[in-house]
Structure 1
């Protein structure tokens, strides 16, 4: 049997306003509420159907998905909803939408710009704040919202890992920066988000990493790149140089006849893998540095002219 249209369930047009949806829900909930129809299974099912329809149509985001995708948007694993929720979380620092609605609790459902549709207040108006056999229904625990902040991290700390004190929301937190953290990634602090309600757990705090630029080294994925100044004799004759890294100097062999611009690779000296995989590599780009100009330099270089057998620019073609 085809699923009923949510607008038809509430008896409102597709262009209905949030206020019209709320009024329709109040009217139907009063009619089919189990307290009004004790023991009537049909009324109970109708009440649940009405409540479920109102829960979707009172939320602008869920309503937009329903208008576009129909009943498919209500099924678990609906990708469009997950993708949009993630975008909202990145932009606002907390996932959109309210707590999952529970038919037994009548909790609040977040409806974005339209305010908060409080199902509980509806029944307080209808039944004097009491449900069942005159007993106030206990409030359902609600998980606190997640929050987001930004933390600036030096490249050195991203390579080696570090612990930092950060001040967020008036409190100081000790944060562990994991090795291999990337620009734009997040560090999660469990239970440091917004507090829960009615005994619910606090949300999490997500610290979005902003990686500071380094004057000598830049990162590309798991690899690191730097310019390596070498002297003319080192480039011509070759030799061993000490290359500084965040973990201390390492020995690097310069092959004889090395040209400026050549990249020399040091395997496993790049970024650590955040998930425990192999480290990246470090690439040193050779930059030949000439000594200060002097008469002695010109005299020493003059004989080199005879060593060039061909024009080094002959292959340039525009």
Structure 2
């Protein structure tokens, strides 16, 4: 147990009740992680702090054993930290020292705290090691294809297997690679949060890839078959006549493949307008406009 366990209400950090289910805790964490993700809030120190707080809270509450220990610690902290009731008031600083060093409330420290009054001896209790959080940077293609990479944790090299199709902000649990346990207890776990880099062409929304493709106004008006890139071979896409800018087409099965499913490629067309026209081109367009002088796309707005 650490000093911050008594000082910080991790349930409040995640915005859930103490009776919240594991599913609700995970859902609340993911919502906060997305809301305050550094990529969505560049240069925002407050958002970065909230993001780190959410990760710290989920490291504890997201693990069943750690959560039980945390709840117990909070209860004992209230017991020893509340004046009255026949017990001497004890400050957090008295438990941990001014430097905030870890204090084993359930092991030797707990026995020492209360044993002096009762004359009992100090008992060394096995304590599982703390969990460790780390981040790992991945390229867009590494996240899509999956990869095994190494991290340096407490001076040791740890191999982390990244499954294919992983999303930015996802966390991977590596069992037994956290801090060592005390008195023969098992070590904690390592939680790795992945940070996926961007791609110069594709975007990503879950299992789907997104792509914006420019088309000419002639292709938009008359229709065309265009070639679009994918993560594999290029594919043909039929653009119907009369397609407006912003129209999105779905190319099935060309998204991100994961262990559960494969997403699609969502292609959004953007109609481009030439910045300069030759005299002949201008004349042709004026001739085209004269063929339907009553056409007014702003008529529904009451404008000419």
- After TM superposition, the score normalised by the length of structure 2 is 0.60
**Which of residues 126, 132, 138 is equivalent to 1:147?**
132
Bigger-Rg structure (1/2): 1
1:134-190 C-alpha deviation (Å, 9 max, x unpaired): xxx6x4432211111222334333333233333344344333322332233201122
Counterparts in 2 of 1:64 and 1:211: CA distance versus 1, 3 Å: closer
User: Which residue matches 1:293?
Assistant: 276
Structure with the bigger RCO (C-alpha within 8 Å, sep 6+) is: 2
Structure 2 runs not aligned, ≥5 long: 12-16, 30-52, 78-91, 97-102
Inter-CA distance 203–266: structure 2 relative to 1 (3 Å threshold): same
Q: For 2:269 and 2:233, how far apart are their aligned partners in 1?
A: 20
Match of 2:50 in 1: none
Aligned to 2:173: 188
1:79 to 11, 19, 33: 19
CA distance, structure 1, for counterparts of residue 214 and residue 192 of structure 2: 37
| 1:238 equivalenced with 2:223 (yes/no) | yes
Which residue of structure 2 aligns with residue 227 of structure 1?
A: 212
Give the equivalent residue in structure 1 for 2:265: 282
- What is residue 120 of structure 1 aligned with on the other side? 111
Can you list the C-alpha shifts for 1:83-122, whole angstroms capped at 9, x where unaligned? Answer: 7899777226742779859xxxxxxx99576433313335
Secondary structure of 1:145's aligned partner: coil
Give the aligned length: 234
Distance change >3 Å, CA 110–CA 222, structure 1 → 2: farther
Deviation digits for residues 188-239 of structure 1, max 9, x if unmatched? 1222211112222221111123343444433333333221112334323333
Cα distance, 1:81–1:269 mapped onto 2, change above 3 Å: closer
Give the RMSD, CA atoms, in angstroms.
4.1
Distance 1:210 1:291, change over 3 A: same
Unaligned runs of 5+ in 1: 1-58, 66-72, 102-108, 131-136
Q: Measured at CA, do residues 171 and 230 of structure 1 come closer, stay the same or move farther in structure 2, by a change above 3 Å?
A: farther
Change (3 A) 1:307 1:194: farther
Secondary structure of the equivalent of 1:187? strand
- Residue aligning to 1:90: 55
Q: 1:100 to 1:206 in 2, by over 3 A?
A: closer
Q: Secondary structure at the match of 1:315?
A: helix
Deviation of 1:80 after TM superposition, in Å, equals: 4.7
2:210 and 2:277 mapped to 1: Cα distance? 33
Aligned to 1:51: none
The structure-2 alpha-carbon separation of the partners of 1:98 and 1:226, relative to structure 1 and needing over 3 Å to count, comes to closer
